[in-house]
A and B are shown apart, each in its own frame.
Chain A
Amino acid sequence: MNLLDYVADRWDRLSLQAWLHVSEVVQSTLIAAVIGVLIGVAVYRSPIGSAVATALASTILTIPSFALLGLLIPVFGLGALPTVIALVLYALLPITRNTIVGLAGVDPAVTDAAKGIGMSRTAVLTRVELRLAWPAILAGMRVSTQMLMGIAVIAAYAKGPGLGSEVFSGLTRAGSANATNQALAGTLGVVILALLLEGVYFLIARFTISRGIRG
Chain B
Amino acid sequence: MAENVSGVEIQLENVTKRYPGTREPAVKDFTMTIPAGKIVILVGPSGCGKTTTMRMINRLIEPSSGRITIGGEDALKLNGDALRRKVGYAIQQAGLFPHFTVAQNIAVVPGLLDWDKKQISERVDEMMDLVGLDPAVYRDRYPRQLSGGQQQRVGVARALAADPPVLLMDEPFGAVDPITRGNLQDELLRLQLELRKTIVFVTHDFDEAVKLGDKIAVLGDQSTIQQYDTPEAILANPANDMVAGFVGAGASLKQLTLLRVRDVDYHDDALTVVAPDSSPSDLRRQMTEKGKTYALVLDARKRPQRWVHVRDLSTASTLASVGRPVGDMVSTQSTLQDALEAILSEGGNAVVTGSRGEYVGTIDITTVTDTIQQLREEHDAGSAAS
Contact = CB atoms under 8 A, between A and B. Distances in A.
Interface of A: 107, 109-110, 112-120, 123, 128, 131-132, 210-213
A128 B104 CA distance: 12
Contact of B89 (A117, A123, A128, A212): A117
B108 A212 contact: no
A110 B84 contact: no
A113 B99 contact: no
22 contacts: A107-B93, A109-B91, A109-B95, A110-B95, A113-B91, A113-B94, A113-B96, A113-B97, A113-B155, A114-B95, A114-B97, A116-B95, A117-B84, A117-B89, A117-B159, A118-B112, A119-B112, A132-B98, A212-B101, A212-B142, A212-B143, A213-B142
B158 interface: yes
Interface of B: 58, 60, 81-89, 91-101, 108-109, 112, 142-144, 155, 158-159, 168
A68 to B, nearest CB: 37
Nearest to A209: B99
A212 to B, nearest CB: 3
A116 B101 CA distance: 19
B245 to A, nearest CB: 30
A117 B100 contact: no
B108 A117 contact: yes
A119 B83 CA distance: 10
Closest 9 CB pairs of A and B: A113-B95, A212-B142, A118-B85, A116-B89, A118-B84, A210-B99, A109-B95, A120-B81, A212-B99
Nearest to A124: B81
B98 to A, nearest CB: 5
Contacts of B94: 109, 113
Q: Describe A's contact surface by its main secondary structure.
A: helix
A128 B112 CA distance: 14
A27 to B, nearest CB: 28
A112 B142 CA distance: 19
Contact of A117 (B93, B143, B144, B158): B158
Contacts of A117: 84-85, 88-89, 108-109, 112, 158-159
A118 B78 CA distance: 12
Contact of B100 (A118, A123, A212): A212
A209 to B, nearest CB: 8
B275 to A, nearest CB: 36
A131 B159 CA distance: 21
Nearest to B141: A212
B91 A112 contact: yes
Q: Which of A112, A114, A117 has the most CB of B within 10 A?
A: A117
Given A110-B97, A213-B98, 6 more contacts: A109-B93, A110-B98, A115-B84, A116-B168, A118-B112, A212-B98
Contacts of B99: 131-132, 210, 212-213
Contacts of B97: 110, 113-114, 128
Given A109-B91, A113-B94, A119-B108, A210 B142 contact: yes
B84 A211 contact: no
Contact of A118 (B93, B95, B109, B168): B109
Given A116-B60, A118-B84, A211-B142, A107 B112 contact: no
B243 to A, nearest CB: 30
A109 B97 CA distance: 10
Contacts of A212: 98-101, 142-144
B100 A210 contact: yes
Contact of B58 (A109, A116, A119, A210): A116
Contacts of B86: 118
Contacts of B108: 117, 119
